């Protein structure tokens, strides 16, 4: 089945935004490789819902295992057109107290492994019409705040690889992009009421739907933008100056 369809790997594809992206590409006729770390049941359930899909497990804390996964897929996917690095950890530490363990894990899963996977993909995958790397970053790149210090650091590190990979690792037909969402789904212990408030703290005062991120990924996979670009999907949140993460702004009752 994969020989007649373009293939895509979505890391963290078993749940949340990753699952929305996987569904969108499946509906568009792609063969979807759904990566998961520990969400096996969710990944297998999603695969059953898609016309052409498979699940692969890999702990992205193990960078060598992540590279090996990409090499294995590159050896058997005939038309592997896109790699979307969506998997991430979003753990708390603060600007005044970097937690070493949190930082190591965030930098590995959110930055080092995706960068190595992109390098391996661009070196080995075969694709008709060029390959696409899409790194999921965050609107915090343009609108930083002091919360979730190691997470934000890791996303800045990942974003820095996009223009470098575009310049030095990609062929003329390839494209490397960053896709930067804003507040999309509930995080940590947010209540539904807090989510309704925090997710409207943007210029349009509206909630951004996961499908909008998925649609943006489909657009980027077509390669219409110049390589090295970042596309924000956040209803204008990145254009604001927010002193804290919206989780806390909602709890404190302060606006954007």
10: CB partners within 8 A, 6+ apart? 18, 21, 22, 25, 32, 33, 34, 35, 84, 86
Give the Å distances, CA to CA, from 235 to 26, 73, 75, 150: 25, 35, 39, 25
Confidence band (pLDDT; 50, 70, 90) for 80?
very high
| Contact (CB, 8 A) for 80 and 131 | yes
When pLDDT is averaged across residues 35-50 and rounded to a whole number, the result is 96
Q: How far is CA 29 from the centre of its chain?
A: 21
Residue 254 has pLDDT above 60, yes or no: no
Query: How confident is the model at residue 209, as a pLDDT?
Result: 95
Query: How confident is the model at residue 219, as a pLDDT?
Result: 98
Query: How confident is the model at residue 187, as a pLDDT?
Result: 76
Query: How confident is the model at residue 3, as a pLDDT?
Result: 61
Residue 256 has pLDDT above 80, yes or no: no
Query: How confident is the model at residue 97, as a pLDDT?
Result: 93
Domain spans, the chain:
2-187+209-237
Q: How far is CA 24 from the centre of its chain?
A: 14
Average pLDDT of the chain to the nearest whole number: 94
When pLDDT is averaged across residues 55-80 and rounded to a whole number, the result is 98
| Residue 236 phi, psi dihedral angles, 5° rounding | 90, 10
Task: Count Cβ atoms within 10 A of the Cβ of residue 160 and give its class: 0-12 exposed, 13-18 middle, 19 or more buried.
Answer: middle
Separation of alpha carbons 6 and 183, rounded Å: 30
Residue 139 has pLDDT above 90, yes or no: yes
pLDDT digits (tens, 9 = 90+) for 192-240: 888 889 999 999 999 999 999 999 999 999 999 999 999 999 999 999 9
Give the Å distances, CA to CA, from 93 to 103, 147, 189, 198, 247: 8, 7, 15, 20, 14
% of the chain at pLDDT higher than 90: 88
Residue 128 has pLDDT above 70, yes or no: yes
Residue scoring higher pLDDT (2 or 185): 185
CATH of 2-187+209-237, one of 3.40.50.720, 3.40.50.2000, 1.20.1090.10, 3.20.20.70: 3.40.50.720
Separation of alpha carbons 185 and 189, rounded Å: 12
Q: How far is CA 169 from the centre of its chain?
A: 20
pLDDT digits (tens, 9 = 90+) for 160-174: 999 999 999 989 999
């Amino acid at each position: 089945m994969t020989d007649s369809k373009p293939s895509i790997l979505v890391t963290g594809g078993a749940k949340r935004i990753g699952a929305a992206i996987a569904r969108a590409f499946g509906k568009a006729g792609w063969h979807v490789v759904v990566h998961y770390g520990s969400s096996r049941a969710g990944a297998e359930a999603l695969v059953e819902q898609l016309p052409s899909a498979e699940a692969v497990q890999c702990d992205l804390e193990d960078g060598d295992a992540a590279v090996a996964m990409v090499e294995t897929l590159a050896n058997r996917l005939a038309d592997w057109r896109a790699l979307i690095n969506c998997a991430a950890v979003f753990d708390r530490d603060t600007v005044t107290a970097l937690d070493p363990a949190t930082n190591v894990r965030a930098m590995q899963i959110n930055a080092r492994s995706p960068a190595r996977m992109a390098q391996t993909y661009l070196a080995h995958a075969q694709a008709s019409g060029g390959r696409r790397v899409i790194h999921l970053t965050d609107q915090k790149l343009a609108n930083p705040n002091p919360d979730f210090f190691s997470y934000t650091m890791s996303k800045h590190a990942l974003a820095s690889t996009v223009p470098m990979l575009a310049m030095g690792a990609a062929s003329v037909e390839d494209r490397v992009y960053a896709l930067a969402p804003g507040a999309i789904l509930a995080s940590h212990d947010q209540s539904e009421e807090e989510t309704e408030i925090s997710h409207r703290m943007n210029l349009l005062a509206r909630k951004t739907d996961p499908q909008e991120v998925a649609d943006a990924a489909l657009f980027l996979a077509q390669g219409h933008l110049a390589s090295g670009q970042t596309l924000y999907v956040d209803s204008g949140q990145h254009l604001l100056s927010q002193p804290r993460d919206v989780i806390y702004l909602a709890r404190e009752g302060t606006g954007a």
